[in-house]
Amino acid sequence: MHGLQDIVQGVGKKDKMPVLSIHKCEKDIMVHKFDAKKAEILDSIDRRKFLNPDSILKKAGLDSDTVLADLGCGSGYFTIPALLIVKKVYAIDVQQEMLDIIGEKIRTGKIKNIETILSKESSIPLPDKSVDVLFMANVFHELDDRGGILKEAKRILSGRGRMIIIDWKKIEMEFGPPVGERLTAEEVVSICEKGGFTMLERLEAGEYNYMLVFGKSAT
């Protein structure tokens, strides 16, 4: 039987896939039409070249006391590696098929510190102040109700909880979502500030992505 370390090592070590295909699949999953049968593409080694989960999670400042909610978790690209660091992970997605894939990884690795949750876009079924870090990777630009999700984020985050948003840089490239659908880091900051958050830190998440860390604004 595989252990958690084996499952984590499997993330990003699938057969190589064309980079354009990887980005096409990322785009599809965020608009809720991703074919779960192709989910292993999201774990491809090529994806690590531009979005390395180990490096990003290290920058996130997680520790063994952290309760993390991975919103839009997909096949668990960030979820599974985070399990080696944090106390507990809530893997949240709008697609049951993606949660089923994570569920199989949980059973294979006999993982205990994770719970999968099916949600609606602007409603997160978690108790108030139950999460230390809310994590969103390449999700925020696709949200229809950003105000609603920010309201939910404030509700579920603990007093000193942080919200981490990783998203596409708004630059021309041959892959990823159309530039017109992307948000600049400044646009994300403005939206989040209006939603009651304060930016704490801006980091690089790779050549094509930025990483923003927010805390709840004082009221």
What ranges make up the beta strands (E) of the chain? 67-71, 88-93, 114-118, 131-137, 157-168, 197-204, 209-216
pLDDT at 146: 97
pLDDT at 32: 44
How does residue 1 score in pLDDT terms, banded at 50, 70 and 90? very low
**In the numeric block, which tokens belong to residue 163?**
């919200």
Cα(158)–Cα(62) distance, integer angstroms: 15
Cα(156)–Cα(216) distance, integer angstroms: 11
pLDDT tens by residue, 39-84: 565 655 666 677 899 999 999 999 999 999 999 999 999 999 999 9
In this structure, how many other beta carbons lie within 10 angstroms of the beta carbon of residue 41? 24
% of the chain beyond a pLDDT of 90: 68
pLDDT at 10: 56
Closest CA to 90 of 161, 189, 192: 161
Q: Is the pLDDT reported for residue 192 higher than 50?
A: yes
pLDDT at 39: 59
User: Residue 125 to residues 92, 117, 139, 205: CA-CA distances in angstroms?
Assistant: 9, 8, 18, 28
pLDDT tens by residue, 102-134: 999 999 888 989 999 999 888 999 999 999 999
% of the chain beyond a pLDDT of 70: 78
Q: What is the mean pLDDT of the chain?
A: 86
Q: What is residue 71's three-state secondary structure?
A: strand
- pTM of the entire structure? 0.84
Q: How many domains does the chain have?
A: 1
Using CB atoms within 10 Å of the CB of residue 144, give its burial: 0 to 12 exposed, 13 to 18 middle, 19+ buried. exposed
- Residue 66 sits in which domain range? 4-216
Q: Which amino acid is residue 216, in one-letter code?
A: K
What CATH number did the domain enclosing 179 receive?
3.40.50.150
How does residue 31 score in pLDDT terms, banded at 50, 70 and 90? very low
- Listed in sequence order, the DSSP H helices in 143-211 are 146-156, 185-194
**In the numeric block, which tokens belong to residue 185?**
């880091």
